Amino acid sequence: MTDLATYNFAYLDEQTKRMIRRAILKAIAIPGYQVPFASREMPMPYGWGTGGVQVTAAILGPDDVLKVIDQGADDTTNAVSIRAFFQKVANVAVTTKTKDATIIQTRHRIPEEKLGEGQTLVYQVPIPEPLRFLEPRETETRKMHALEEYGLMHVKLYEDIARNGHIATTYAYPVKVEGRYVMDPSPTPKFDNPKMHMSDALQLFGAGREKRIYAVPPHTQVVSLDFEDHPFEIQHFDKPCALCGAEQVYLDEVVLDDRGGRMFVCSDTDHCEDRRAHGHVGHLLAQEAAE
Amino acid sequence: MATPLVVSEVAKSFTMHLRDGLQLPVVTGVSFSVKAGECVVLGGPSGVGKSSILKMLYGNYGVDEGQILIDHGGKRVDLAHADPRAVLEVRRDTLGYVSQFLRVVPRVSAIDVVADPLLARGVALEDARDRACELLARLNLPRELWQLPPATFSGGEQQRINIARGFITEHAILLLDEPTASLDAKNRAVVVEMIAAKKQAGTALLGIFHDAEVREAVADRIIDVSAFSPRKAAA
Amino acid sequence: MTTVPLLKVNDVSKFYGSRIGCQNVSFELWPGEVLAIVGESGSGKTTLLSCLSTRLMPTSGKVEYHMRDGQYRDLARMAEAERRFLMRTDWGFVHQNPADGLRMTVSAGANVGERLMAVGDRHYGNIRATAADWLRRVEIEEDRIDDQPRAFSGGMRQRLQIARNLVTAPRLVFMDEPTGGLDVSVQARLLDLVRGLVHDLGLSAIIVTHDLAVARLLSHRMMVMKDGLVIEQGLTDRVLDDPREPYTQLLVSSILQV
């Protein structure tokens, strides 16, 4: 161990961490505003969550307990790699249990279990600019944010309804933060948007390739954009989780065989395991038990 | 009797810059007036400046010297020096004009071309169209043409549209530039009647009529425009 | 009459380095008035239009606009937020090339509805109904409402651009060669449409064109520009029937008669 070259704590050098912390503080001070920062090269490709990793590296302390999820799961390649990365470069405690974690780095999901005070959720963001798809000029989108010209966001939702009869945007659904900045909540499903509103936890967003950090401080209003006659709605699932029987949670479709067999299970694996540990049984498990 | 139109010492010349600044004097010292209920006819050989005088009175030609005083809603307006906005206001409310040729607007039906001056004065669309129909019927324009844009109409048909458009309002002053030139005897007679009715109603009319018979029928007074010829003045 | 000018232009000049864009232009535009600015390419008419519509800052001079609250405001001194708000509510700008004024990748309905959403309209049904009504007014079939302007002809695009601009009932519309790239028959339709809308809505408009027929049909008053200067202005009929300046005479005499 000692004869190997050692990394600085949490991989990044201290000056870089300071720079990122300054950006984070600014982002917290202006909820929803995208703060540019000098994103570093990380030992993983863009798209693997380099923005989230840099934010996590900058806020991580030796006493923190880290949880990393990808699509709600703790055991996917991306989650496992990032978790291993921080174990190696910071030697911090890791967990898969939501309530035990102090920092949760996520791609795509907000855990089902309500986050509490003192917890920090770090999002990996691919494209931070919600206006980008309709307005390609960065100079123009910055001006639009500065002048609060957000009509274009509704043009996008209008197009959705015109094409599909309802707002078909199901992820990266735009929100307005504290009545001021319109923000892209990263590619989380809109199912999770209400969890952002008045959350007790601190939410930080890092986009490595796009070099932007933004934040939603605790107890901040986060309102999903909508029309009066087409109000914001989250996804609803017909059946409960096949494994733990949970309702009102976000489900993933899992194909079971090549004859059309499939099941819907919790996307949040920790939540599912925890329920089962407490004796909740979904219909599929009940079936297996019967056999 | 009121005198809604007074022309005083008006002079006009053209400078043809494309022909090395050639000066083309048109008229000079034009002075006359028209009373309410009177029809004054500008006479004299062609090329003497009759049409130019009408165009100056309507604002299409600028005026070099003199005044054109119009009684516009109780106010004297000097059209020779009025700004474009004032000229348009006088045209809308006080000064009517029947030109020789119809300026065709694409896609607008004959009825709406005729009704337009009333609409501009704020008359309701239905009322304006009713009034337009009455006039077109009176001028014997075939009913099947009313809904069509007049671009493809014959000269006589277009002229009748023009007359209807000029006569539809109750402007205090009406300028007529050969309104009967391409009409047949029957329609000429209608126009003569319409002019008589305007006189009866107290309109001041000033016109050019080449047709001697019509001229005799409508004119209270003939002004010989040759008297304003600059060549004569110079001589 | 208690009406006052909508736009007061006082001695506006624009220089590009030492080159003149336009120089010493002054005029007033009144409510309901349509002004045509004519002149050949390079005469400064588009520069002037840009200065008036705040797309360019004049080098000197002042442009004042009569706001809805009854106050005159110097456009150059207005905050950018307010100026942009003015431009998308009380003003319209019709570009020669419709692609410059439209969002080519969103539907016709959203193109028309964008201004409504920008001023806070949040009722999809109402926005769509208003958009459909405007498409009808500019003679675009209602069943094209969900098509993108990419699928439209040049004339339709231009009509869509006009609808997009007029939906917030602006009081002043700037038009830069609105019939520029269109066929003659398409032009006639567009001109008639614009004429009708200007008349019905009581719009004021400033139209830049090199086509005297457009000026004759649409405008009450015209200004002729040459080498950055306004060389002649007045009632449209007067300027065209009795042009005074050598250059205006040349322009008028160059009209092709059919």
Q: How far apart are CA B213 and CA B189, in angstroms?
A: 10
User: pLDDT at position A2, please?
Assistant: 54
Per residue in A35-51, pLDDT (tens digit) is 999 999 999 888 889 99
Residue of C nearest to A150 (CA): C118
- Inspect the interface and report whether the beta carbons of B84 and C192 lie closer than 8 Å: no
Model confidence at B235, pLDDT cuts 50, 70, 90, reads very low
Terminal-to-terminal C-alpha distance of chain A: 51
Residues of A with a known catalytic role: 32, 241, 244, 266, 272
Q: Residues of chain A with pLDDT > 70: what percent?
A: 98
- Over residues B204-233, the mean pLDDT reads 89
Q: What is the pTM of this model?
A: 0.88
Specify which of B127-136, B150-159, C185-194 reaches the highest per-range mean pLDDT: B127-136
Subunits next to A (3 or more Cβ pairs <8 Å) are C
- Inspect the interface and report whether the beta carbons of C237 and B16 lie closer than 8 Å: no
Min mean pLDDT across B149-158, C6-15, C155-164 is at B149-158
Residue C252: name the closest of C219, C210, C202 by CA: C210
Q: Residues of chain B with pLDDT > 90: what percent?
A: 76
User: pLDDT at position B208, please?
Assistant: 95
Using a CB-CB distance cutoff of 8 angstroms, which residues of chain A are in contact with residue C115?
A: 151
Model confidence at C1, pLDDT cuts 50, 70, 90, reads very low
User: pLDDT at position A260, please?
Assistant: 87
User: pLDDT at position C41, please?
Assistant: 87
CA distance B65 to chain C (A): 15
Model confidence at C191, pLDDT cuts 50, 70, 90, reads confident
Question: For residue A137, what are the CA distances in angstroms to A129, A133, A144, B27, C161?
Answer: 11, 10, 11, 63, 21
User: pLDDT at position C240, please?
Assistant: 94
User: pLDDT at position A159, please?
Assistant: 94
∠ at Cα B122 (B54, C69), nearest 5°?
Answer: 110
Model confidence at B186, pLDDT cuts 50, 70, 90, reads very high
Do residues B31 and B10 make contact, with C-beta atoms less than 8 angstroms apart?
A: yes
Instruction: Indicate the domain borders of chain A.
Output: 14-224, 251-290
Do residues B189 and B8 make contact, with C-beta atoms less than 8 angstroms apart?
A: no
User: pLDDT at position C179, please?
Assistant: 87
H runs (alpha helix) in chain B: 50-58, 84-93, 110-120, 125-138, 155-167, 185-200, 212-218, 230-234
- Inspect the interface and report whether the beta carbons of C238 and B59 lie closer than 8 Å: yes
User: pLDDT at position C222, please?
Assistant: 96
Instruction: Note whether residue C196 is domain-resident.
Output: yes
* pLDDT greater than 90 at residue A187: no
* pLDDT greater than 50 at residue B135: yes
Other beta carbons less than 10 A from residue B59's beta carbon: 26
Question: For residue A96, what are the CA distances in angstroms to A80, A111, A173, B232?
Answer: 11, 11, 27, 112
Question: For residue A9, what are the CA distances in angstroms to A2, A57, C28?
Answer: 15, 8, 70
Residue C52: name the closest of C207, C167, C212 by CA: C207
* pLDDT greater than 70 at residue C121: yes
Per residue in C47-59, pLDDT (tens digit) is 999 999 999 999 9
State yes or no: chains A and B have 3 or more CB pairs below 8 A: no
* pLDDT greater than 80 at residue B231: no
Using a CB-CB distance cutoff of 8 angstroms, which residues of chain C are in contact with residue A151?
A: 114-115, 117-119
User: pLDDT at position B21, please?
Assistant: 87
Interface test with C, best of B19, B83, B85, B100 (most C CBs within 10 A): B85
* pLDDT greater than 70 at residue B233: no
A149 vs C110, C118, C127: nearest CB: C118
> What ipTM score was computed for the predicted complex, to two decimals?
0.90
Over chain A, what is the mean pLDDT? Answer: 93
C217 vs B58, B60, B105: nearest CB: B105
Interface residues of C toward A, Cβ cutoff 8 Å, are: 80-81, 84, 103, 106-107, 109-110, 113-115, 117-119, 122-125, 127-128, 145-146
Q: Which CATH number fits domain A14-224: 1.10.10.10, 3.40.50.11310, 1.10.3470.10, 3.40.50.620?
A: 3.40.50.11310
- CATH code of B28's domain: 3.40.50.300
Do residues A202 and A218 make contact, with C-beta atoms less than 8 angstroms apart?
A: yes
* pLDDT greater than 80 at residue B216: yes
* pLDDT greater than 80 at residue C2: no
Residue of C nearest to A164 (CA): C146
Using a CB-CB distance cutoff of 8 angstroms, which residues of chain C are in contact with residue B58?
A: 237
- Inspect the interface and report whether the beta carbons of C145 and A151 lie closer than 8 Å: no
Q: Residues of chain C with pLDDT > 70: what percent?
A: 98
- Over residues A110-132, the mean pLDDT reads 95
CA distance B60 to chain C (A): 4
Instruction: Note whether residue C1 is domain-resident.
Output: no
Tell me how long chain A is. 291
Per residue in B57-91, pLDDT (tens digit) is 999 999 999 999 999 988 999 999 999 999 999 99
* pLDDT greater than 80 at residue B106: no
Interface test with C, best of B13, B99, B103, B107 (most C CBs within 10 A): B107
Question: For residue A31, what are the CA distances in angstroms to A18, A92, A138, A190, B50?
Answer: 20, 29, 20, 19, 78
Terminal-to-terminal C-alpha distance of chain B: 37
Over chain C, what is the mean pLDDT? Answer: 92
Model confidence at C197, pLDDT cuts 50, 70, 90, reads confident
- Inspect the interface and report whether the beta carbons of B84 and C238 lie closer than 8 Å: yes
Domain count within chain B: 1
Terminal-to-terminal C-alpha distance of chain C: 42
Using a CB-CB distance cutoff of 8 angstroms, which residues of chain C are in contact with residue B105?
A: 192, 195, 217
* pLDDT greater than 60 at residue B234: no
- Inspect the interface and report whether the beta carbons of A147 and C107 lie closer than 8 Å: no
Residue A208: name the closest of A72, A75, A77, A107 by CA: A107
Interface test with C, best of A142, A153, A159 (most C CBs within 10 A): A159
Per residue in A199-220, pLDDT (tens digit) is 999 999 999 999 999 999 999 9
- Inspect the interface and report whether the beta carbons of A227 and C110 lie closer than 8 Å: no
Q: Which domain holds residue C246?
A: 7-254
Per residue in A245-275, pLDDT (tens digit) is 999 999 999 998 899 888 999 999 999 999 9
| Widest distance between CA atoms in chain B | 57
Domain count within chain C: 1
Per-position DSSP letters for B59-98, written without gaps between them: TSS--SEEEEEEEETTEEEETTT--HHHHHHHHHHTEEEE
∠ at Cα B125 (B124, B131), nearest 5°?
Answer: 90
- Over residues B225-231, the mean pLDDT reads 86
- Inspect the interface and report whether the beta carbons of A227 and C124 lie closer than 8 Å: yes
Burial label for A46, CB within 10 Å (0-12, 13-18, 19+), is middle
Retrieve residue A161's tokens.
Answer: 């309804």
- CATH code of C130's domain: 3.40.50.300
Model confidence at B202, pLDDT cuts 50, 70, 90, reads very high
